[in-house]
Amino acid sequence: MLKLLLPILFLIPTCFVYRGWWMVQSILFLMTFGFMLMGMNNLFYADLSYFLGCDVLSYGLILLSFWICALMITASEGIYRVRVYEGFFLFMVLVLLMLLYCTFSSVNLFMFYLFFESSLIPTLFLILGWGYQPERLQAGVYLLFYTLLASLPLLVGLFYLGDVNNSLFIPMCRGWSVSYVVCYLALILAFLVKMPMFLVHLWLPKAHVEAPVSGSMILAGVLLKLGGYGLLRMFGVLTLSGLSYNFVWVGISLVGGVLVSFICLRQTDLKALIAYSSVAHMGIVLGGLMTMTYWGFCGSFALMIAHGLCSSGLFCLANITYERAGSRSLLINRGLMNFMPSMTLWWFLLSSCNMAAPPSLNLLSEISLLNSLVAWSWVSMLMLALLSFFSAAYTLYLYSYSQHGSVYSGLYACASGYVREYLLLFLHWFPLNLLILKSEPCMLWV
């Protein structure tokens, strides 16, 4: 795995080369395709080194991290154009990518914890350094304290596991069982906040609204997936206690998903709406995960990948509109079909993926999650029906309210997108719909 870690490390000095922006971006795309060609067709760890290794679960998420980080640089062309410390921006993106790569490929739980927490620092710098409003400081503090408060018990829990079993090697975790409630809570809480689960989700909309487009893309695309990835890794240890207590989290996530959908229906800020929709989607991922069934695990992994691409694409669209209209308010961004006719198609395509229309990977994963939750308990059908309905409702509200209707009188123009923007949106949408043709790695990996 060092064969990819070292190129990222050696790419860092090129950030500060004069006009090295597009070179860094091109090399990142090249590395993404290189990693893709490595292939990952075995269920066990491959490419093992002292503390890094890669199985199917890691492979999908590392590939997503590479892809989103390359697209972040494409989307943030404004930083390069206005020359807002673009070298440091690239440096932050590469450091974040390196930390995410190490997080997903760690085979030791303590190393995983170390990189899991470290990925917070570059994200914080992205929000504080290139965010939009003065409230970004408060958003950064929310992000920091929510995640750090919950992750201290995780560290203690990991030390306890290491003490009892004399090892923190992830493939050896499957035989262990922890049945203490306190240990169960300690090992699971940090991931629930990172997901984020309803009730501990307040940091997410704040961070999204204040973050630059790149910060929103990496938050929605990869950082929310750290929670799901951690839970998938931990449930080898938590099987016994999971069978006893998981119903609590399923209930909270399903009821929370419906409540968040209601919140979405009254949002006037484009970014806040997409951010809250992320909470609703991750709610159903968490519900499926907590059933601890084959369908639930596979569906949650697939939805994490699908949501990463879809949500990131929607944030790009919101930013493209923001750059033209100077506002993210839905009261001003009305009738965009008149203002940016060529972008309406992309709004439609990504909105339809967001409400799990075929042929997107979202559809496959949501069907699998519905299957797992209904098989777990018939009672969950009520909340699932409401969640699916309102998910479609707020996505339609987002699309129709922004694209149709009378155009805001302050906009006297017809703006077309740049080729860069169309390429950016295409590279979000195309893999999302292509992956359903080759869905075995997402669905048959357990």
Give CA–CA dist 383/389, Å, rounded.
10
pLDDT at 42: 67
Give CA–CA dist 432/313, Å, rounded.
10
Instruction: Extract the residue ranges of the chain whose pLDDT is less than 70.
Output: 41-42, 175, 446
Using one digit for the tens of pLDDT, what is the confidence trace for 221-249? Answer: 999 999 999 999 998 888 888 888 999 99
User: Residue 52 forms beta bridges with which residues?
Assistant: 106
Domain that holds residue 435: 1-443
The total of other beta-carbon atoms located within 10 Å of residue 266's CB is: 10
In sequence order, which residues have a C-beta less than 8 Å from that of residue 24 and are 6 or more positions away? Answer: 11, 14, 15, 73, 90, 94
Q: Give me the number of domains the chain comprises.
A: 1
Tokens for 379, please give them: 């009672």
In three-state secondary structure terms, 26 is helix
In sequence order, which residues have a C-beta less than 8 Å from that of residue 294 and are 6 or more positions away? Answer: 372, 446
Are 225 and 64 within 8 A, CB to CB?
yes
Specify the pTM: 0.95
* Sheet strands (E) in 11-89: none
Exposure string for 199-237, b = 16+ CB within 10 A, e = fewer: ebbebbbbbbbbbbbbbbbbbbbbbbbbbbbbbbbbbeb
User: Residue 9 forms beta bridges with which residues?
Assistant: none
Give CA–CA dist 299/280, Å, rounded.
15
Give CA–CA dist 265/175, Å, rounded.
45
3-state secondary structure 339-367: HCHHHHHHHHHHHHHHCCCCCCHHHHHHH
- Given the structure tokens 């750059």, which residue do they identify? 323
- Given the structure tokens 């440091």, which residue do they identify? 88
Are 326 and 444 within 8 A, CB to CB?
no
Residues of the chain above pLDDT 90, percent:
70
Angle, helices 21-38 vs 2-11, to 10°: value is 180
Give CA–CA dist 62/54, Å, rounded.
9
pLDDT at 20: 87
DSSP code of residue 133: S
In sequence order, which residues have a C-beta less than 8 Å from that of residue 86 and are 6 or more positions away? Answer: 21, 79, 80
* Residues belonging to the chain: 446
Give CA–CA dist 178/181, Å, rounded.
9
Give CA–CA dist 35/5, Å, rounded.
11
Smallest CA-to-CA distance from 90 within 105, 74, 104 is with 74
DSSP code of residue 220: I
DSSP code of residue 132: S
